[in-house]
Amino acid sequence: MKGEAMETRRLCFPRQRQVLFLFLFGGVSLAANGFRHYSVTEETERGSFVLNLAKELGIGVEELATRRTRVVSDDNKQHLLLDSHTGNVLTNEKLDREKLCGSIEPCMLYFQILMDNPFQIYQAELKIRDINDHSPVFREKEMVLKILENTAEGATFRLERAQDSDRGLNGIQNYTIEPNSFFHITISDSDEGTIYPELVLDKALDWEKQPELNLTLTALDGGSPPRSGTTTIRILVLDVNDNAPKFSQLIYETQAPENSPLGSLVVKVSAEDADSGVNAEVTYSFFDADEDIQTIFQINPFSGEIILKALLDYELVKSHKINIQAIDGGGLSARCMVLVQVLDTNDNPPELIISSLSNYIDENSPETVLAVFRAKDRDSGENGKTVCYIQDNLPFRLKPSVENFYILMTEETLDRESRAEYNITITVTDLGTPRLKTEHNITVLVSDVNDNAPAFTQTSYTLLVRENNQPALQIGTVSATDRDSGINAQITYSLLPTQDPHLPLTSLVSINADNGQLFALRALDFEALQAFQFHVGVTDQGSPPLSSQALVRVVVLDDNDNSPFVLYPMQNASAPYTELVPRAAEQGYLVTKVVAVDGDSGQNAWLSYQLLKATEPGLFGVWAHNGEVRTTRLLSERDAARHRLVVLVKDNGEPPLSASVTLHVLLVDGFSQPYLPLPEVAPERVQGDSLTVYLVIALASVSSLFLFSVLVFVVVRLCRRRRAASLGVCSVPEGHFPGHLVDVSGTGTLSQSYQYKVCLTGGSSGTSEFKFLKPIYPNIHTNGPERNRVENPIF
């Protein structure tokens, strides 16, 4: 337990450096108790006089400069400046009261006057006086009121008030309405001290006589001269609607944490109407809502749900008052109020505001002030309490001052030979849950010399850039640091000469000498250059200068910029490329193979094939991975003789690129059938189901079969007559049959032309049959694996 207590003490109070904002220690002078009060009118020109500081403090102007007097504002903005020649404090800009304080009145600007030798703080406040520089503005250019014709005289109708950014007498002071015989205006006060207009009925309305009235409402402020704004009140007289909507509560109270997400439900209001039909349909809306309410909240007109459409901020507004109006279909309305209490969460880290800072100190100097800063937290309660400390084992200490000001000063003399640089981290932590903290680093240098070369954060860099990039595209950044300071730490980057004479480095990349950003000077092409490397150097500005270098490797990434290219079948031929398919082909018969390549790499070069269009869908199919075109079923006599197939070749890039190839397929009864190119026939005509066409085809088939049988019979008779059976070879008269009976050209299934010799053999039984001999291969080479061999040729 004793060890734990010591550890706790070490963590919470290291060498008494932590300072709780609730306590103030001696040693620093608070010049005056309370605040000194000054005032200035808003919108005065820059350089307007506020006070003479030398006269107020009773000291000379020279002493103000000697003691480094400065003016610091609470919001860390330079609203005021000190003229060191006259001692006058002047405005540094036009001060806009509405911008600085909004609706808060009076508008106070708090500032401090800091002086050194000895260190003193004077607190003061500047009141920004309002001028009448804004006119009243109504949110809507036209208000619509629906009033029943049987409404009693004396009934009041609250109207939406105008908005005026000015405050006090310059704010809205009165409302008027144009003279008429039905209404007059009365003014009522709200709980917030603002006034709003109410319309009072003086004379009963009659829908039959006058169903609509248009009146002009005017809002007047109290400025000199007064400003005004107008809106039109459009009054619609309604026929009798018995019951007005009625809210279940007149006041809804709810709470919402300031870190509530957008779209979260705040509260749901509900009103009921005892009427029926259209008169019972209730819609909800905001009434007399200012711009902040409409920006933060949103109401569903049908369900009454109020949701957040902007984030809540407890530090800006701690509660919201929302007026809700419910209107039925007949025009009667009711109102209720929603009070939203914003709950504080620890959502603001502490702030550390530096008033003065010195990063340099001579060695062997006595106690010296390095920095004066202020710590604050915008949260409240425990969330707004803070603790401030620096790390241990440093020759510095934090000295508390007044109003959360702190002084960072040396605790002992410094020795450059022992340590030339100190990094001090000032940490401010709040006491909320969870705890938030803010850190500020201060570097103190002691008599630096240029003894450290700049060093890259990495010894080598690998940069990835996609090809076809835009010229001057930033492809990466090299970064280097120098442990020195001042001019010794100023570094410049450069490209070092390359040893490769074939690499045009200066036309490929450039480097920003100030920040090390690398740029591609031209579009890179993966297919031409996939990677290259070079060295970059960094040099400081010391004397003598020191430098270092790093290796940069640029890897070009492939982009899908090449469409697939079809090698086979060739599409630039003068005549269409036709494949022959026997009608006796089995299912899965290889018709041809589409061969394509892609100039890209990786998945950009992965190709897939698909049948995009066919004369007769379902007859042919394309294998997705190898481009083989095969029959998907048995062929029949009813299938058209000529087919046109469009095959799509697509790569796997993003976005994918594609190419298409057109195949012409001719169905034949056998490869020996003469083939004559047919004129191109429209697919619609080929697919026509005409009985006459079928009859002609059937007649042609029977005739062909008969002629083929006669031909076979003649050949057999001739072979027997010449008695060549003992040789096993028959010679065919050259005048009747050519030496090469069958010539299969590249228009069929195969990609080359093959020739076969055919003869007749005679057996002892007296029968004759065809015999296929060895094929004769032409001297043509192709790349397709299916084209390098012929197996089981079919005729």
In a domain, 766, yes or no: no
| Total structural domains within the chain | 6
In this structure, the answer to whether residues 85 and 69 fall within a common structural domain is yes
Higher pLDDT, 606 or 745: 606
Burial of 549 (0-12, 13-18, 19+ CB in 10 A): middle
Which of 447, 479, 499 delimits the end of a domain? 447
In this structure, the answer to whether residues 591 and 552 fall within a common structural domain is no
Q: By the 8 A CB rule, do 516 and 492 touch?
A: no
In a domain, 125, yes or no: yes
Rounded average pLDDT over 669-675: 57
Q: Give residue-wise pLDDT tens across range 319-355.
A: 999 999 999 887 888 999 999 999 988 888 998 888 8
In this structure, the answer to whether residues 583 and 662 fall within a common structural domain is yes
In this structure, the answer to whether residues 480 and 434 fall within a common structural domain is no
What is the bridge-based pairing of β-strands 473-477 and 620-622? unpaired
Say what the pLDDT of residue 747 is.
Answer: 37
Say what the pLDDT of residue 629 is.
Answer: 92
DSSP per residue, 270-291: -EE-SS-GGGG--EEEE-S--H
- CB-based contacts of 528, cutoff 8 Å, min separation 6: none
In a domain, 287, yes or no: yes
In this structure, the answer to whether residues 203 and 258 fall within a common structural domain is no
DSSP per residue, 592-641: EE-EEE-SS-GGGG-EEEEEEEESSTTSEEE-TTT-EEEESS---TTS-S
Q: Give residue-wise pLDDT tens across range 354-374.
A: 888 888 887 778 888 889 888
pTM: 0.42
Q: Give residue-wise pLDDT tens across range 158-191.
A: 898 888 888 888 888 899 999 999 999 999 887 6
In a domain, 393, yes or no: yes
Q: How far apart are CA 158 and CA 190, in angstroms?
A: 12
Residue 202 structure tokens: 């003086």
Say what the pLDDT of residue 70 is.
Answer: 87
In a domain, 736, yes or no: no
Closest CA to 569 of 793, 746, 754, 780: 746
- The residues with which 342 forms a beta bridge, in sequence order, are 256
Q: Give the CA angle between residues 414, 420, 425 to the nearest 5°.
A: 85
Query: Cis link prior to 617 (omega < 30° from 0)?
Result: no
In this structure, the answer to whether residues 520 and 467 fall within a common structural domain is yes
Q: How far apart are CA 480 and CA 502, in angstroms?
A: 29
Q: By the 8 A CB rule, do 666 and 580 touch?
A: yes
Rounded average pLDDT over 400-421: 83
Rounded average pLDDT over 142-157: 88
Q: By the 8 A CB rule, do 650 and 607 touch?
A: yes
In a domain, 764, yes or no: no
In this structure, the answer to whether residues 379 and 417 fall within a common structural domain is yes
Say what the pLDDT of residue 163 is.
Answer: 87
In a domain, 594, yes or no: yes
Q: By the 8 A CB rule, do 154 and 242 touch?
A: no
In this structure, the answer to whether residues 210 and 300 fall within a common structural domain is no
Q: By the 8 A CB rule, do 421 and 449 touch?
A: no
In this structure, the answer to whether residues 663 and 577 fall within a common structural domain is yes
Which of 425, 447, 469 delimits the end of a domain? 447
pLDDT surpasses 60 at 228: yes
In this structure, the answer to whether residues 261 and 329 fall within a common structural domain is yes
- The residues with which 109 forms a beta bridge, in sequence order, are 126
Q: Which domain holds residue 474?
A: 455-557
pLDDT surpasses 60 at 689: no
Residue 436 structure tokens: 């938030």
- Secondary element (H or E) of residue 579: strand 578-582
In this structure, the answer to whether residues 230 and 250 fall within a common structural domain is no
- CATH number for the domain spanning 467: value is 2.60.40.60
In a domain, 788, yes or no: no
For residue 194, what are the CA distances in angstroms to 190, 341, 447, 520?
Answer: 5, 21, 64, 64
In this structure, the answer to whether residues 154 and 217 fall within a common structural domain is yes
Q: How many residues does the chain have?
A: 795
Q: By the 8 A CB rule, do 609 and 647 touch?
A: yes
Residue 55 structure tokens: 């006269």
